[in-house]
Amino acid sequence: MKNKVVIITGASSGIGKALAFEFGSKGAHVVITGRNENKLMEALAELQALQIQSTAIVCDSSSEEQTREMIVQVVKELGQIDILINNAGISMRSMFEQVDLKVLKQLMDINFWGTVYATHAALPYIKKSKGGIIGISSIAGYRGLPVRTGYSASKFAMNGFLEALRTELLETGVHVLTACPGFTASNIRNASLNSEGKITGDSMRDEEKMMSAEEVAEKIYQAYQQKKKTLVLTFQGKLTVFLNKWMNGLMDRLVYNTLKKEKDSPLR
């Protein structure tokens, strides 16, 4: 990673922040982005306290204009882009019948279109450096989750986009990795939206039993170094993907029963 420039979107907390420490500790200059300037600057200070080369740029991933300006700024200041990690994302928790459709649009704008905007703007520079693109997707991109219809839709779209792009770039030397963590101890559930688009501020699952953001970041770094195309994390995640392919009727019931046990689940 020495002398490499790595952009990580949505990196002020959670997996994105852990990835900044992981790639930065290996010698990369990490560029972290996020919408919340205060949180972003706090993350930058933590990185710099460990002598990690780092830059912070306030950027809303759902804005094509801001994203393109961010990419231009990185190239102007650092001269290159070697790796783009599309991590910015939000979740939701609501029955589809009750949700305001603006919530689904917001998820698609950030989770899917945010990935598209950043990748499209950065691709010429990544091709030049023969670098890589990493998408932080989810098991929900393989198996639709009830009460998270918009989240699953955005991650299915992300998976399809990255798979198609990976195939397009087969002869260019650019590596594309789709990483799909299972339930991870990060703030994405605390920041998930309800049926009205308001942040719930509460996790509905036991965080102590989940893989930490730092563990996820380490696995993603290793997978990128090994040039893996996809990374499905946790035994539960791998089992979910396998069973959904071959026994999807059974998985409907298993997933329903599992998510019905969540705190204040709307499933009955």
Edge to edge, the sheet with strand 5-8 lists 54-58, 29-34, 5-8, 83-86, 132-136, 175-180, 230-232
CA 92, CA 108: separation in Å to the nearest integer? 11
C-beta atoms surrounding 43 within 10 Å? 23
- DSSP for 130-166, please give it: T-EEEEE--GGGTS--TT-HHHHHHHHHHHHHHHHHH
3-state SS class at 30: strand
Provide φ and ψ at 135, rounded to 5°: -110, 125
CA 83, CA 101: separation in Å to the nearest integer? 34
Cα of first residue to Cα of last residue in the chain, in angstroms, is 49
CA 178, CA 86: separation in Å to the nearest integer? 10
Under 8 Å between Cβ of 265 and 204: yes
DSSP 72: H
What sign does the CA torsion over 223, 229, 234, 235 have?
Answer: negative
**Which one is catalytic: 117, 125, 142, 151?**
151
Active site residue 151: yes
With tokens 């559930």, the residue in question is 189
**Which residues are known to be catalytic?**
151
